[in-house]
Amino acid sequence: MAPRVEVNRLRLIRSLLVNCNLYTVALSDPSRAIRDNLVSTVYALLRVILLCYKGKSKIDMTTDWVKKANSHSPAAFTALFGGVSDTAAQRACRDLKLMDTVFEMGYAVYARTFPADPWANSSAAFNGPRAIQKLVHVAIQALCAGNKASQDYFGRRSSLVLEIPSTQLEHTLNAQDETSSLTSPVQNRRRRGSRPSKELTADSKVVHVPQLWMDTILEQLEAPLGPAVTLSKLLSANEELLTKYATPKLVMKFSEMVQTLGPQRRFVDFFAAICIVQGRAVKPNQEMVLRLTWMDLKVRKSIYLQLRPLTTRGVSVPRGNSASSSSAKVLAKYGPVKLPSGALTDGTIDSSSPRPADFLGREIYNRPKGFSPVGITWAGTAAWNRGHPEALFWDLEHLGLKATKLRAEDDMGEKGEEIVRLEELCWCLDGPALCEAITGETWVSYKVHLEHDKALRKAFDLRVELATYFVGQLLLHAAMCSGRSYNCIDRYSNILFDLLDYGHYCGARTAFPIQSIPTFIH
Contact status, residue 255 vs residue 392, Cβ threshold 8 Å: no
Per-residue model confidence as pLDDT tens digits over 25-64: 999 999 999 998 899 999 999 999 999 999 877 888 789 9
Share of the chain above pLDDT 90, in %: 55
Share of the chain above pLDDT 70, in %: 78
Task: Count CB neighbours of 187 within 10 A.
Answer: 19
Q: Quick one: 128 and 181 in the same domain?
A: no
Report how far residue 225's alpha carbon sits from residue 236's, in angstroms, rounded to the nearest whole number.
Answer: 19
Q: Is residue 62 part of a domain?
A: yes
User: What is the torsion angle, in degrees rounded to the nearest 10, for the CA atoms of residue 391, residue 395, residue 396 and residue 397?
Assistant: 180
Q: Quick one: 121 and 181 in the same domain?
A: no
Q: Looking at the 3D structure of the chain, how many domains does it have?
A: 3
Lowest mean pLDDT among 449-463, 476-490, 494-508: 494-508
pTM: 0.82
Q: Is residue 323 part of a domain?
A: yes
Q: Quick one: 92 and 178 in the same domain?
A: no
* 123 has a pLDDT exceeding 60: yes
Q: Strand ranges (DSSP E) for 379-493? A: 380-381, 393-394, 407-408, 420-421
Q: Is residue 112 part of a domain?
A: yes
Report how far residue 378's alpha carbon sits from residue 388's, in angstroms, rounded to the nearest whole number.
Answer: 14
Sign of CA dihedral 206, 211, 213, 217: negative
* 247 has a pLDDT exceeding 90: yes
Q: Quick one: 150 and 88 in the same domain?
A: yes
What mean pLDDT value characterizes the chain?
A: 82
Q: Quick one: 450 and 324 in the same domain?
A: yes
The whole-number pLDDT of residue 233 equals 96
Q: Is residue 108 part of a domain?
A: yes
Q: What is the mean pLDDT of residues 353-381?
A: 75
Q: Is residue 446 part of a domain?
A: yes
Q: Quick one: 349 and 424 in the same domain?
A: yes
Cβ-count burial 35-48 (b if 16+ within 10 Å, e if not): beebeebbebbbbb
Q: Is residue 276 part of a domain?
A: no
Residue 338, classed as helix, strand or coil, is strand
Lowest mean pLDDT among 107-116, 221-230, 287-296, 489-498: 489-498
Q: Is residue 288 part of a domain?
A: no
Q: Quick one: 138 and 196 in the same domain?
A: no
Q: Quick one: 36 and 180 in the same domain?
A: no
Q: Quick one: 371 and 503 in the same domain?
A: yes
Residue 66, classed as helix, strand or coil, is helix
Q: Quick one: 130 and 88 in the same domain?
A: yes
Looking up residue 30, the CATH number of its domain turns out to be 1.25.10
Residue 229 is part of which domain span? Answer: 1-157+214-238
Q: Is residue 266 part of a domain?
A: no
Report how far residue 397's alpha carbon sits from residue 379's, in angstroms, rounded to the nearest whole number.
Answer: 13
Q: Quick one: 117 and 183 in the same domain?
A: no
Q: Quick one: 450 and 483 in the same domain?
A: yes
